[in-house]
A = this chain, B = another copy of it.
Amino acid sequence: MDGLKVSQLGARAGVSADTVRYYDRLGLLPATERSESGYRLYDERAVARLRQIRQAQAMGLRLSQIAELMRTLDGGECPCEETVEAMSERRAEIDAEIARLTALRDQLDAAIAAGETGECCDPCEDECVPEVLRPRKEVNP
């Protein structure tokens, strides 16, 4: 009777019941109490934790990293240092991805500009293929 069921807990943090069960499977939520009939029953501490997980996700952390932080926390230790570490790690990954995508975008911009101003496939060689997609010559291994 007392205690939130999966979809009630989910609603308190804006996630689906499925997602709550998924996090539970991954061990992100505190050890679950169960009703006689087997229903998961959560308390306010679980609400706080679920929101904390979502907050960590919004900061770009992966569930695997969050799981580690939760383990530290449940072990009674302070997760501060580990959190900064995890965030720095993710920052580096995200930065690399931004760099990759930015270079790609610039290439695309140039190609789109060239494609819009150029004649259709002019000058044609062999096959009709837009300049920007012409096969590049050798790839030496």
Binding site for B on A (CB under 8 A): 11-14, 47-52, 54-56, 58-60, 69, 73, 78-81, 83-84, 87-88, 90-91, 94-95, 97-98, 101-102, 104-105, 107-109, 111-112, 115-116, 118, 120-121, 126-130, 132-137, 139, 141
Please name 17 further chain A to chain B contacts, defined as beta carbons within 8 Å, in addition to the given A48-B126, A73-B129, sorted by A numbering: A52-B129, A52-B134, A54-B135, A54-B139, A55-B134, A59-B133, A78-B120, A79-B128, A80-B118, A83-B130, A84-B116, A87-B108, A88-B112, A91-B105, A91-B109, A94-B104, A95-B105
Interface of A is mostly: helix
The docked-state distance in angstroms from the alpha carbon of A52 to that of B137 is 10
B-side contacts of A49, CB under 8 Å: 135
